[in-house]
Amino acid sequence: MVDPLNVATAVSALNIAILLALTAVWVRNYREFRTPLVLALVVFGLVLLAENGVAIYFFFSMKMLYAADSTVQSAVAVLRGMQFVALAFLAWATLQ
């Protein structure tokens, strides 16, 4: 059986990769257009990058917080997966 925390960690790493690409595009667009909407996308990308980085840190350093309950582990993995799907659609739309 696959450990849900390892799945969540791997998906967080994928989310970081997508967010790096998206944020790079948004920064480039902000430099060109200087609109508040694009600036908001840049900030959104940076906040989610920080959140995913902290999540990976806690998965490795404080696994014991999640280890007591398999339901929590599964919920964390599902939430990371949902974030991945949302970011994949956002990346698809942005890169069109």
- Whole-number Å distance between alpha carbons of 23 and 53: 15
**Span 11-44, pLDDT tens digits:** 999 999 999 999 999 999 999 999 999 999 999 9
Average pLDDT of the chain to the nearest whole number: 92
pLDDT value of position 71: 87
At 68, list the tokens: 């007591």
pLDDT value of position 64: 66
**Span 44-60, pLDDT tens digits:** 999 999 999 998 998 88
